[in-house]
Chain A
Amino acid sequence: MMNWNLYSRGDKFFAIVVSVLIGMFTVATLYPFIYIAAVSFSSGFAAQAGKVVLTPIDATLEAYGYIIKDPQFWISYRNTFIYTIGGTLMSLAFIIPGAYALSRRQLKGRRFLNLFVAFTMWFNAGLIPFFLNMRDLNLLDSMFGIILAFAVNAFNIILLRNFFEAIPQSFEEAARMDGANDFQVLWKVFIPLSKPAIATITLFCIVSRWNGFFWAMVLLQSEEKIPLQVFLRHTIANLSDNDEFAIVQTDAAFSAETVTAAIIVCSIIPVLIVYPFIQKYFEKGILLGGVKE
């Protein structure tokens, strides 16, 4: 049906216009990243004077040299890995058994329990009660607190529960005949059959942990516990403060702009590395997630 040779002149024109528009949008999406990379490799003076457009000006690695010498950069980078790996494992430890139990028809009060979970998607106590609760629980400025308090969300549980519910009963019956209990059925039947859904949830967890910022900023005070995003935020805040004075140092090898850009590049690279793996699953994931409550 979509065959170039059968296209009329008007259709061909239309297809070309659309391709050009898509190309423009794609370039517009990509350009800010290229710009930031170019700034990160430029000299501080060139960046401050606004000379960078597409390629590095007076190419230098000074900004990278500056950040790799900053111990705080490495500390926060390490912390981000801890939050991402620890947080994702914690999430799976709650979500997989929880979703399995909620998918079982013999669970007493199943309707109520599902509503109990889903209700939190629609109603949320808000920032202040959550914060005060964290304080009462003694989880302020605690790495474990961050990992635990954001481990579960209703959306992921429901997504996996729906997937589990769609697994035909015949799959588990063989295992049941061999005398398997629920833990064994979950481990040997449900988890292997649900790899795409579990991969999707894992990736959602990884991305949200890697990008997590607001609560880390609010809950963590110690510099040795902050993740990369909070460190980046501190650097950017300094940058905009300097901006108001608009000091241009003519001899600067690096500047707040180039350093910020270099940190941005460093924190995007891991995302770009896992991105091809993410892409394989997220299209499925968001369509799975489209399933009703």
Chain B
Amino acid sequence: MVQGNTPAPGSAIESVEDTPDTLHDTFTDSRGSRLYDHFKREWQIYVMLLPTIVWFLVFLYKPMYGLQIAFKDYSIFRGVANSPWIGLEHFETLFSNDQFIRAVTNTIKISALNLLFGFPAPIILALMFNEILHATYKKTAQTIVYLPHFISSVIIAGIVITAFSPTAGIVNTIIGWFGLDPVYFLTQPQWFRPIFVGTGIWQEAGFGSIVFLAAIAGVNPSLYESAVVDGANRWQMMWKITIPSILPTILIMLIIRIGNIMEVSFELVILLYHPATYETADVVNTWVYRQGLQSGQYDLAAAAGLFNAVVAFVLVMTANTLSRRFSQTSLW
């Protein structure tokens, strides 16, 4: 019965095995013995799965149990289970904490800028790649623009810090050519977001275009052929054929992006920010990092992390539902 999903044409062994099983079921039917037979026959897949399940329990689910410290007065000596409950006190502290509110606002503002400038960039890039006829030129350009995606954030930050340095950096060298004074880009709050979002586009726009290029490759060529017959030019074809055809992909990617609004790449923030720029740069996860891992206020920081995770979860679930609904109605 358990093997019912295996039609096994010509598989003598399995059909022989199936018969006593069925008999067994009809005569001495008991759930226990059926389970016993199942595990006896299929134990190997459970052995294969066990390490992964244990790993998830130990490294991902056990920390979820540890999240209860967000509602506790946590002390290292008492441990997670024995620290006393204090209800929502940490959340009250959080929402009356200006720095935390600022971190939430900054997270949303940085994500909004990323969405506004970072989201269209790979689409425009993909549309442009699609217009290039010379295969080698296209391939070479693609190879280069995908590269920064594979570079670590420490190196990216190192490049940014070197390039924007007030004395040594190329950016201030160029500013100097125009006779202007050097700008302290990395210690002035108003420059953090443009630099951060710009770095993100430089690093990810190329790689992000792959998804849209794949969508463009899937457009029915006969649409273009009939457009040529009708005398359309490339610009018109891009607007009337390519963009409408990849619209479902664009919408799904947009929904995913919105779902990830709480996920600012905080590793890069930690590497690029400075106490002087916290005002615009500090996001929820960097705040959690400083409060928790640097100042040792584990319970309060865990509460902030929980808040972030719950908001992110709701956003992602909504996005998933929307994109599922959308991909069902879309044609591909």
Contacts and interface: CB of A to CB of B under 8 A. Distances in A.
Interface string A274-286: 0100110011001
A30 interface: yes
Contacts of B143: 279
Interface in B123-141: 125, 128-129, 131-134, 137-138, 140-141
Contacts of A18: 128, 131-132
Interface in A135-184: 136-137, 148-149, 151-152, 157, 169, 173, 176-177, 179, 181-183
Q: For chain A, which range describes its interface: under 10, 10 to 19, 20 to 34, or 35 or more residues? A: 35 or more
Interface stretch (B19-27, B55-63, B94-102, B104-112): B55-63
A19 B11 contact: no
Nearest to A124: B309
A128 B233 contact: no
B49 A113 contact: yes
Nearest to B315: A122
A123 B313 contact: yes
Given A14-B234, A98-B51, A236 B161 contact: yes
B221 A131 contact: no
Contacts of A131: 292-293
Interface string B33-76: 00100100010111011011101101111111011010000000
B292 A36 contact: no
Nearest to B253: A290
Interface residues of B, number: 112
Contacts of B145: 25-26, 29
Interface of A is mostly: helix
A279 B60 contact: no
B59 A133 contact: yes
Interface in A254-290: 255, 257, 260-261, 263-264, 267-268, 271, 275, 278-279, 282-283, 286-287, 290
Interface of A: 1-2, 4, 6-8, 10-11, 14-15, 18-19, 21-23, 25-26, 28-30, 32-33, 35-36, 39, 47-53, 93-95, 97-98, 100-102, 104-108, 113, 116-117, 120, 122-133, 136-137, 148-149, 151-152, 157, 169, 173, 176-177, 179, 181-183, 186, 207, 210-214, 218, 229-230, 232-233, 236, 239-240, 243, 246, 248, 255, 257, 260-261, 263-264, 267-268, 271, 275, 278-279, 282-283, 286-287, 290, 292-293
7 contacts: A1-B224, A11-B235, A14-B235, A35-B162, A113-B49, A125-B66, A128-B288
